[in-house]
Amino acid sequence: MTDSYEVREVIDKETLSAVKSVGETYKYGFATDIETEYAPIGLNEDIVRLISKKNEEPSWMLEWRLKAYKRWTKLKQPDWALLKIPKIDFQDQYYYARPANMKERPKSLDEVDPKLLETYSKLGIPLTEQKKLAGVIEENYEEKPQDRKVAVDAVFDSVSVGTTFKEELKAAGVIFCSISEAIQEYPELVKKYLGSVVPISDNFFACLNSAVFSDGSFVYIPEGVKCPMELSTYFRINAENTGQFERTLIVAENNAYVSYLEGCTAPQRDESQLHAAVVELVILDDAEIKYSTVQNWFPGDENGVGGIYNFVTKRADCRGKNAKVMWTQVETGSAITWKYPSCVLKGDNSSGEFYSIAITNNMQQADTGTKMIHLGKNTNSRIVSKGISAGKAQNTYRGLVQIGGRSQNSRNFTQCDSLLIGNKCGAHTVPYIEVNNSSARAEHEATTSKVDEDQLFYCMQRGIGEEDAVALIVNGFCKEVLQALPMEFAMEAQKLVAISLEGSVG
Amino acid sequence: MLKIDNLKVSLEEEEKQIIKGLSLTINSGEVHAIMGPNGSGKSTLSSVLAGKAGYTVDSGKVNFDETDLFETEVEERAALGIFMAFQYPIEIPGVGNMNFLRTALNSQRKTRGQEELNAADFLKLVREIAKDLEISDEMMRRPVNVGASGGEKKRNEILQMCLLEPRFVILDETDSGLDVDAMKLVSKGVNKFSSSSRSFLVITHYQRLLNYIVPDFVHIMVDGKIVKTGDKNLALHVEETGYKDFL
């Protein structure tokens, strides 16, 4: 009883104290006062050329971007999601912003502007190599979980400001650096894999990203290597009226393994900001990638003013046999979330898993889910989605399970649960199931429930305050997904769940 | 300890009065039993004392020591030492029993300005109580009341009581759905817990529970009022003749 209990116990304690300690709802809403260099406002070919030049890219990369840009000008913004999206003027924002003193790439973390380091430490992301990520283990806690190292790549607006543990990783054969650096240092790898999972013209937002992405992370795990530590990227939007377009590419060669975490925050501003990222995962024979996201972009205020518009394309390509991928996401932020991390199960016996918690409060809207595309034989997929709506928020699960004609003996299991808090919010489930092989099996289970008055009363009769009780019940509802997260993130995520539901009762 | 003075309570939604002028004083160390036919207002009384929503207090007052109960939130009442063992204990999926217990205990301690109990002391305490009530480790690992039998749920209520150490306990039809063995076990837990500084309000349909938890006073409640008060023999009388004498 002790072990599992004690781990949870710390998490729980943290949840409760976090709720109490946070004065304002969004605690990452501060802005860093730093001189910022912008590209001219708006988007045209010159801006694309400028971004490429700023990143000192080879010509093939520029060509790639220009091709994407041309294509993008012919595409229309999709409108099929269950979202009310205010008109976005793509010419009225900046596509590139970087701290002025980042003109020269810092050679090591010692050269990074202290103001930037301070920003990250305020966010609980120490850019030093001694500490853990957002350490939440209490001093008086007896059985400390083993201190685990986490390497961090920190992306500030359009540029990567630093990557920790680079040398130690290099010794293991792992490449972990910003994508801009990878384009210069490992052009062959980037050329081979970039756009191979999410092609340039995949969709409107992915296409835009392909034209203007400024930075992001690159991970390469060579054959047979198990990455010796967790890798993570921390995205921060700081500059006003600026979109962030990051690109992440992770390649796991045969028999390789990596667990990767991604976190995001942004200052509290009245204007909405655009975030359109692309993440590509390539998984070869017997390899495995775990990709976890805790998304906490500024959600806008309670009247729906401001907030990030989050349009993200994430896809994993299980190219090899026995390839495995696991997406875990905790989506608590953003005014609008449009995101469907997907798995293409090409390799025989490959498997894809998707665990999601999406919380919307106040005026937030989310349309999120996954796509499981079964192509290989004996492929397996599992979807566990937990949607929580409070305030006047709308929360949609949208998922596609597609089993191809040649995909013999493939299996899918989908479980979709929605929880409503109050009576002004909405939950929607839109599952698409296409099975083209008679040996396949797809199961779908869905539930919708409300935070039960009797459960609240029961907790409160035992002395637990109302907001703590809601946090406890909702965390219980999300448990299956929280357990899928690496422990450092599980604790952060539990706190976030509590914080994002503040003020949703009473 | 608890003083109910001419209490009148209606259902919030129906404007139907359920408790129609009830007075009752319970002193430290006393065990009071309330018996009555279905619909007499017994469960409403326990709900109102614990602070459940859905009721309107039309008039009257309840003091717990010096505190006006109707000026106090549900969780504050709990921290003051009021505990209700539920007739139908609630399931909370995904929330581990241990988690729940520790959160409850430390929330109460915090409200009272006491230090929180550390993990080791807490575990030791819970294990002792669980052992007495024959509650297995496996059950403690489960989510709160999920997949538990009626008897297990009731034992779990008693475990919570022993852990939280309230001064005033309402047992709301704790005997319902229990076989004789389970009732003995639950009663043993209650009797071990009782002391001169603690009081009980036992709400029940049947006399048999009162063979194990022996009351100092037995009240017969009919149509929202206490119509007769006596000692434990009154319960035996009811068992023989039913409530018809009081209707």
| C-alpha torsion sign, points B45, B46, B47, B51 | positive
Amino acid symbol at A279: V
Nearest CB to A1; choose among B74, B92, B137? B137
pLDDT score recorded for residue B227: 95
Boundaries of domain holding B200? 2-246
Boundaries of domain holding A267? 31-315
* CA separation for the pair A327, A279 (Å, rounded): 11
Best interface-test mutation with B: which of A17, A454, A460, A475 has the largest number of B CBs within 10 A?
A: A460
* CA B95 vs CA A240, A475, B85, B146, B187: distances in Å: 41, 7, 19, 9, 27
Task: Evaluate if residue A142 carries a pLDDT over 60.
Answer: no
Q: How confident is the model at residue A410 (pLDDT cuts 50, 70, 90)?
A: very high
* CA separation for the pair A210, A208 (Å, rounded): 5
* CA A96 vs CA A75, A242, A246: distances in Å: 22, 7, 11
* CA separation for the pair A99, A54 (Å, rounded): 13
* CA separation for the pair A63, A67 (Å, rounded): 6
Q: For residue range A443-452, what is the model confidence (pLDDT) as tens digits?
A: 999 998 888 8
Q: Does A459 touch chain B (CB under 8 A)?
A: yes
Q: How confident is the model at residue A334 (pLDDT cuts 50, 70, 90)?
A: confident
pLDDT score recorded for residue A8: 44
The mean per-residue pLDDT over the stretch A498-502 comes to: 76
Q: How confident is the model at residue A158 (pLDDT cuts 50, 70, 90)?
A: low
3-state secondary structure of A75: coil
* CA separation for the pair B54, B241 (Å, rounded): 34
The mean per-residue pLDDT over the stretch A219-239 comes to: 87
Domain count, chain A: 1
* CA A62 vs CA A187, A246, A404: distances in Å: 13, 16, 36
Task: Evaluate if residue A288 carries a pLDDT over 70.
Answer: yes
Q: How many CB pairs under 8 A join A and B?
A: 107
Query: Would you say B36 and B9 are in contact if contact means Cβ atoms under 8 Å apart?
Result: no
pLDDT score recorded for residue A135: 32
The mean per-residue pLDDT over the stretch B114-129 comes to: 91
- Of residues A74 and A138, more confidence is placed in A74
* CA separation for the pair B146, B144 (Å, rounded): 6
* CA separation for the pair A482, A325 (Å, rounded): 17
Q: For residue range B223-235, what is the model confidence (pLDDT) as tens digits?
A: 999 999 999 999 9
* CA separation for the pair B199, B169 (Å, rounded): 6
Task: Evaluate if residue A148 carries a pLDDT over 70.
Answer: no
Q: For residue range B70-89, what is the model confidence (pLDDT) as tens digits?
A: 999 999 999 999 999 999 99
Q: Does B50 touch chain A (CB under 8 A)?
A: yes
What is chain B's alpha carbon radius of gyration, rounded to the nearest angstrom?
18
Report yes or no on whether pTM surpasses 0.80.
Answer: yes
Task: Evaluate if residue A392 carries a pLDDT over 60.
Answer: yes
Nearest residue in chain B measured CA to CA from A8? B99
Q: How confident is the model at residue A383 (pLDDT cuts 50, 70, 90)?
A: very high
Q: Does A462 touch chain B (CB under 8 A)?
A: yes
pLDDT score recorded for residue A129: 59
Nearest residue in chain B measured CA to CA from A13? B103
> Which residues touch B168 (CB under 8 Å, ≥6 apart)?
B1, B2, B26, B64, B81, B82, B83, B198, B199, B200, B201
The mean per-residue pLDDT over the stretch A440-468 comes to: 92
**Chain A partners of B123 at a C-beta cutoff of 8 Å?**
1-2, 5
Q: What is the 3-state secondary structure (H, E, C) of A409-467?
A: CCEEEEEEEEEECCCCCEEEEEEEEEECCCCCEEEEEEEEEECCHHHHHHHHHCCCCHH
Nearest CB to A462; choose among B78, B91, B118? B78
Nearest CB to B94; choose among A141, A463, A479? A479
**Chain B partners of A16 at a C-beta cutoff of 8 Å?**
103, 107
The mean per-residue pLDDT over the stretch A436-459 comes to: 92
pLDDT score recorded for residue A127: 64
* CA separation for the pair A401, A343 (Å, rounded): 10
CA B98 to the chain's CA centroid: 21
Task: Evaluate if residue A180 carries a pLDDT over 50.
Answer: yes
The mean per-residue pLDDT over the stretch A97-119 comes to: 71
pLDDT score recorded for residue A215: 85
pLDDT score recorded for residue A497: 78
A472, B100: Cβ pair inside 8 Å? yes
The mean per-residue pLDDT over the stretch A452-456 comes to: 91
* CA A17 vs CA A3, A14, A20, B106: distances in Å: 22, 5, 5, 11
Q: For residue range B37-63, what is the model confidence (pLDDT) as tens digits?
A: 988 999 999 999 999 999 999 999 999
Q: How confident is the model at residue A153 (pLDDT cuts 50, 70, 90)?
A: confident
Give the DSSP letter of residue B146: T
Within the 8-37 window of chain A, which residues sit less than 8 Å (CB to CB) from chain B?
Answer: 8-9, 12-13, 16
pLDDT score recorded for residue A83: 86
A477, B51: Cβ pair inside 8 Å? no
3-state secondary structure of A360: strand
Domain count, chain B: 1
A140, B111: Cβ pair inside 8 Å? no
Query: Would you say A388 and A357 are in contact if contact means Cβ atoms under 8 Å apart?
Result: yes
Q: Does A478 touch chain B (CB under 8 A)?
A: yes
Residue A23 inside a domain? The answer is: no
| C-alpha torsion sign, points A176, A182, A185, A189 | positive
Lowest mean pLDDT among A310-314, A439-443, B66-70, B184-188: B184-188
CA-nearest of B100, B84, B106, B190 to B148 is B100
| H-helix or E-strand spanning residue A385 | strand A380-389
B95, A1: Cβ pair inside 8 Å? no
Residue A231 inside a domain? The answer is: yes
Q: What are phi and psi of A489, to 5 degrees?
A: -80, -30
Nearest CB to B107; choose among A9, A463, A476? A463
The CATH number of residue B51's host domain is: 3.40.50.300
Q: Does B117 touch chain A (CB under 8 A)?
A: no
